[in-house]
Structure 1
Amino acid sequence: MSTIALTAGAVIEQVQHLAAVAPQVTVPNPGAGSQPPGFSHFTTVMGWGKWIALGIFVLALIGGGVMMAVSGRRQGDGGEHVSKLGWILGGVMVSSAAVSLVGFLG
C-alpha cells in the first residue's frame, strides 16, 4: 500500500512540475502548407475511386435487397441477409471516412 502511495505521490509531483513548465513551452506553427507538385492528379484519381466505390456499394445494397426478397420465403435466412447488409454498410462507412479524412488533410 505504501509503494502505491509513493508512486502516486511521484506522479503528482511530475504533473505539478509539467504544469509549471508547460506555459513556457511554445509549439512552432507549421503554417498553412501547400500541395506538392503533381498532387492534383492524385486527388483526381482519389475522386474517381470514391465514385466507383460508392457505385459498387449501391449495387451491392440493391443486390442484398433482391436476395432478401427472393429467398424471403425460407425461414431462418433473414439474419444471414441482415449481416451481409451490415458488412456492406460498414464498407460504405469506412470508405466514406477515408475519403473525408484525406479530403480534410489535402
Structure 2
Amino acid sequence: MNFIAALPASVIPNPTPVVPPQAQGLLTVLNWASGIGLVLGVLGVIIVGIGMVIQLRRGEGGESIAKLGWVLAGCIIITGASGIVRAFV
C-alpha cells in the first residue's frame, strides 16, 4: 500500500492562496484588462451580429457564423483565463 494513500485526509494541508501586498497594482491592471476584454468581446458580438443581418439580406448569412464562433471563443478564453492558468500552474 502506498504511504501517501494511507495518510488520513485531515493531515493533508489545504493552503489558501494569499496575494502579497506588492501585487495589488498588478491585480488592478489584470482586472481592468479583463473588463476591457469583455467589453470588447460584447462589442465584437454586436458587430458580427450587424454583419450577419446585412449578409442575411444579401443571401450570404451562413458565412459569418465562423466569425461569431471566433468572437465567442475569445470571450470564453477571457472569462476563463484564471481557471486556465490555474490548471497549468
Within the alignment, does 1:60 sit opposite 2:44 as a pair?
A: yes
Structure 2 letter corresponding to 1:54: L
Instruction: Give runs of aligned pairs for residues 23-62 of structure 1, distance below 5 A.
Output: 23-24=6-7, 29=13, 31-62=15-46
Aligned-residue identity in percent: 31
Q: CA RMSD in A?
A: 2.6
Aligned residue in 2 for 1:87: 70
Structure 1 letter corresponding to 2:52: M
Find the structure with the greater CA-based Rg.
1
Cα 1:62–1:24 shift into 2, 3 Å: closer
Cα 1:81–1:28 shift into 2, 3 Å: same
> Residues 53 and 61 of structure 2 are in contact (CA less than 8 Å); yes or no, is this contact kept in structure 1?
no
- Residue 50 of structure 1 aligns to a residue whose secondary structure is helix
Instruction: Give runs of aligned pairs for residues 62-77 of structure 1, distance below 5 A.
Output: 62-75=46-59, 77=60
Aligned residue in 2 for 1:7: none
- Residue 29 of structure 1 aligns to a residue whose secondary structure is coil
Q: Alignment length, in residue pairs?
A: 83
